[in-house]
């Protein structure tokens, strides 16, 4: 199977990308190529379907968007790679749990390239280094079609996470690759993330679809 990749770059506002994901998912057919959209958002808090307002502590000047993914509240901003995974799970013969496992393994594999020992947790989706969370997951599956995806903290300002209870956990520690390494090249990490997702989601090849939304 071939995987289409859109590298949308930096400074992407959340809501237009979210609306494009929904439109893509609603309009796709059984022949539509599966896609991953790789990007960095402008600062935003997103509240999942199960999100509770008490987990928003003092959001300040950062907007809050109520969205339709699973999970609670999280933060997106510059220096964090977001990968939106738009797949036909029926065609791939993947169930929701298998999709989550493949995404988490992809993140663990990328971090291992930097000698960062990371692991998922059964009680809280995402990937952790010790007790600190370095990557978050939030998916939506509609009629066997997935959208939304993952966020990996590479080299970002983590202060906004103190304004919320990340993923609904009070006091959860957050970390980034830059906190754990003397230096990190965010472009290289993005390329490695795509390659790791391709491998763990069992795609044969990648087709570049440019740097624009469909």
Choose the catalytic residue: 99, 156, 167, 201: 167
Count of all residues that appear for the chain in the document? 214
Q: How far apart are CA 59 and CA 159, in angstroms?
A: 11
Does residue 167 carry a catalytic annotation?
yes
Q: Which of 156, 154, 153 is nearest to 188 (CA)?
A: 154
Greatest alpha-carbon span in the chain: 46
Q: How far apart are CA 208 and CA 210, in angstroms?
A: 6
Q: Which of 159, 208, 4, 184 is nearest to 81 (CA)?
A: 184
Place of tokens 């679809």: 209
Q: Is the dihedral of CA 127, 94, 20, 213 positive or negative?
A: positive
Q: How far apart are CA 87 and CA 102, in angstroms?
A: 13
> Which pair of structure tokens corresponds to residue 88?
């036909």
Q: How far apart are CA 173 and CA 125, in angstroms?
A: 15
- Say if residues 36 and 205 touch (Cβ distance below 8 Å): no
Task: Please list the residues that pair with 141 across neighbouring strands.
Answer: 146
Residues involved in catalysis: 167
């Amino acid at each position: 199977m071939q995987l289409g990749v859109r590298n949308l770059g930096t400074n992407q506002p959340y809501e237009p990308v979210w609306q494009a994901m929904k439109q893509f998912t609603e309009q796709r057919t059984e022949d539509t190529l599966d896609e991953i959209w790789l990007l960095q958002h402008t600062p935003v808090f997103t509240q999942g379907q199960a999100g509770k307002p008490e987990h928003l502590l003092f959001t300040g000047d950062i907007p809050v968007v109520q969205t339709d993914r699973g999970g609670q509240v999280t933060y997106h901003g510059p220096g964090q790679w977001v990968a939106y995974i738009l797949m036909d799970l029926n065609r791939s013969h993947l169930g929701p749990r298998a999709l989550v496992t493949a995404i988490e393994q992809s993140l663990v594999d990328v971090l291992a390239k930097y000698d960062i020992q990371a692991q998922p947790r059964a009680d809280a989706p995402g990937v952790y280094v010790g007790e600190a969370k370095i990557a978050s997951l939030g998916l939506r599956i509609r009629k066997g079609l997935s959208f939304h995806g993952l966020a990996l903290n590479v080299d970002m300002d983590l202060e906004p996470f103190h304004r919320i209870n990340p993923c609904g956990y009070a006091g959860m520690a957050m970390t980034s690759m830059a906190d754990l390494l003397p230096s990190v090249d965010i472009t290289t990490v993005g390329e490695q993330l795509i390659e790791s997702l391709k491998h763990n989601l069992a795609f044969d090849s990648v087709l570049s679809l440019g740097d624009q939304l469909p």
